[in-house]
Structure 1
């Protein structure tokens, strides 16, 4: 998929895959023994990467085939549009490639259908090479095992407007780092500006409930749990913020683009972003750029949210040793690092984020943001449950909207959201 997108996982609906579906092995027979000789043919599928990175992957495959004589990797690249449907069709038809580029929400139905190899069984020796949070990101609630090698990561810092903080009597060098600090600062900002300056332009999402410390799912992975005391507390505070204009009055209909515009015009004091935003500020809003501050995402847990891509091995592959070896090769420290230097993403391998590329300032905006993001990724987690579909995001948003408008209590809103999401979860099978 397009790497430039901040949310690396595309919107997908539930994939209902028959448990009897065969993989590329045709008759469903596949070995889980990865210790054999690395040789023979495999098929490798990426997600909308050929247009921009053909030379990189051609070189990667050539180097792998040189390292392992007698191997041949056929690379196929699928467009972003309809990728989930393509995976579903391949899974049902027994034509799923041996190694597949996935995100956690895409690997979940494949794992449930028995089509994603459990790497805790076949590739456990590689686990220590990756950041713990990245390895855990392709674990499925209610199932044991890990179902994809972690590949590239992404996250973004929070930008804040130092001038607006100063005008509100807040220390521009000490932005909020917890939700309590955020809400206190936001209420003061609204009061001091007479309601003209909000601090945030977005309503809380599932990631916010995770960062706040709410439970997201039960341990069995059979139901959602963000309507617990912490979840209700968060939504109650957002309601207070909304009533006092600390949350932008148009937040109920906000998109990432509209929220970004609010920050650009200095109508809100904080907004998540990336290095690309800094360049935009520099040209489109020089006064904002002059006062820009960069800080970590707001969190009560000490762990920021990350987005992650992975490399899944088809459990029905006829060539387990080569498929596992290639998936590991694509995602090892050396190749993740080389890929990260071609595009604004981050490696998921342990120690890679200590490279000078991610730690040494050079005075550029791009490097400022890269260093800030890399630092926060070392112990980041993916707060979005792998089973949380786009329909569930919509259900949560609708109920949150009602709570903020005073049409129902925060508790009732989250109870209704959990009920709706649980029903959608049952439909996934």
Structure 2
């Protein structure tokens, strides 16, 4: 079940160069060392001097927010000055790579976990556990851990905004299949059983799911994805084979949509909109579309949490990294923390459909109190799940690796390889790509 990412401030894989390419570009820098000395610096001095803060395609919609935030910081620390630069979404990894290689990487940088990993390995990302560990208690545990890199000790960015989304389901389709529409599946066993019943009762006309399993789904199912050293993938273990075997059963029973092998978020959304699929992840923006374009669906919409065997939902997380080569470490750390503290994150969350990563923020009435609106219904459901959510996608899992897994899943569903053979081959390919990076 592919998870929702906010379309308003999306960080989906849209960049032209993947994190793997960034890692390759930084190989020379890593020779300089990424050991204990390169990832830490003294952040306890006076907050002063000029620093540069780089964001990722945020200026067009949030110019006044960031200008106000910087003004507030400079009033609090009058001896510090912040220059804000914003880079386009396309080619962001290219820009980071070029700046890192040239020694012109800004002092404070907006990153995602997959982008921070090669920077940490090259010794360019400050280890916050060593230099700013006192702040860890302010953030949700899963969010703080999201910028940790297998094979390295430390945390390499402050967690910033989060996103996730619940599952929508079609109550009418559940009722027509003789299922209790007020009791949607909460476990994978229930999901698989309900999906097969829906397919049987509809004679294969109604599928429950429209997506093949991704690395996030393997994580939610409880599959260990990677070894602790960060040197190899492990999603081909017995638990992983079990999940893919269940999806093969769904595919054969037409409980998994026939076009799932080539599905996109847009195509699966259309399937759900036309009531050809019974369940799909989504957002408040989707609810507004249903209300306008599919009133019968809207009248029968149910909202339920993501299904997980681990008790933890999946989250998408953005971060704010401090460059180890900054000449103003105290100011850079202070500003990175300022951007991501509870007050600033709460303010930002009220301007865009994202969620704070700070402890206690999700208990605010904004995330808990119903007001009858569609947006609030979904916001409350998502906020509840984020309190214990984790980022299942390994920070070292590149876009090329995602393609390898998707192709392996397709071969298994089509019967060209057994689930075990397919996953074994996918792990071999991903391990090879990992060594190349």
- Superposition TM-score, scaled by structure 2 size: 0.95
1:21–1:92 contact (8 Å) kept in structure 2: no
Q: CA RMSD in A?
A: 1.7
In 1, Cα distance between equivalents of 2:13 and 2:64: 24
In 1, Cα distance between equivalents of 2:162 and 2:222: 22
1:18–1:92 contact (8 Å) kept in structure 2: no
Q: Counterpart of 1:68?
A: 77
Asked whether 1:168 is paired with 2:177, we answer yes
Instruction: Classify the secondary structure of the residue corresponding to 2:90.
Output: coil
Kindly report which structure 2 residues correspond to 1:277-426, keeping only aligned pairs within 5 A, or say none.
277-426=286-435
In 1, Cα distance between equivalents of 2:151 and 2:290: 44
Kindly report which structure 2 residues correspond to 1:60-209, keeping only aligned pairs within 5 A, or say none.
60-209=69-218
Q: Structure 1 residues 389, 416: closer, same or farther in 2, change over 3 A?
A: same
Deviation of the 1:282 alpha carbon: 0.4
Deviation of the 1:13 alpha carbon: 4.1
Structure 1 residue corresponding to 2:8, chosen from 4, 25, 45: 4
Q: Structure 1 residues 374, 221: closer, same or farther in 2, change over 3 A?
A: same
Deviations 1:400-419 (A, max 9, x none): 00000000000000001101
Asked whether 1:211 is paired with 2:215, we answer no
Q: Structure 1 residues 33, 345: closer, same or farther in 2, change over 3 A?
A: same
Structure 2 residue corresponding to 1:271, chosen from 264, 280, 305: 280
1:9–1:307 contact (8 Å) kept in structure 2: no
1:152–1:308 contact (8 Å) kept in structure 2: yes
In 1, Cα distance between equivalents of 2:146 and 2:14: 16
In 2, Cα distance between equivalents of 1:228 and 1:200: 24
Deviation of the 1:18 alpha carbon: 3.5
Deviation of the 1:30 alpha carbon: 9.8
In 2, Cα distance between equivalents of 1:9 and 1:254: 16
Q: Structure 1 residues 135, 8: closer, same or farther in 2, change over 3 A?
A: farther
In 2, Cα distance between equivalents of 1:51 and 1:319: 28
How many residues are aligned here?
424
2:126–2:157 contact (8 Å) kept in structure 1: yes
Q: Counterpart of 1:223?
A: 232
1:6–1:154 contact (8 Å) kept in structure 2: no
Q: Counterpart of 2:52?
A: 43
In 1, Cα distance between equivalents of 2:381 and 2:40: 43
Q: Counterpart of 1:255?
A: 264
Deviation of the 1:178 alpha carbon: 1.3
Deviations 1:209-236 (A, max 9, x none): 0000001001111000000011000000
Deviations 1:79-120 (A, max 9, x none): 000000110111000000000000000000000100000000
Deviation of the 1:8 alpha carbon: 4.8
2:165–2:382 contact (8 Å) kept in structure 1: yes
Instruction: Classify the secondary structure of the residue corresponding to 2:426.
Output: helix
Q: Structure 1 residues 76, 237: closer, same or farther in 2, change over 3 A?
A: same
Instruction: Classify the secondary structure of the residue corresponding to 2:29.
Output: coil
In 2, Cα distance between equivalents of 1:416 and 1:57: 46
Deviation of the 1:2 alpha carbon: 8.7
2:185–2:194 contact (8 Å) kept in structure 1: yes
Asked whether 1:20 is paired with 2:24, we answer no
Gaps of 5+ in 1: none
Runs of 4+, deviation exceeding 4 Å: 5-11, 28-31
Q: Structure 1 residues 314, 65: closer, same or farther in 2, change over 3 A?
A: same
Deviation of the 1:122 alpha carbon: 0.4
1:9–1:103 contact (8 Å) kept in structure 2: no
Deviation of the 1:20 alpha carbon: 3.3
Deviation of the 1:37 alpha carbon: 0.2
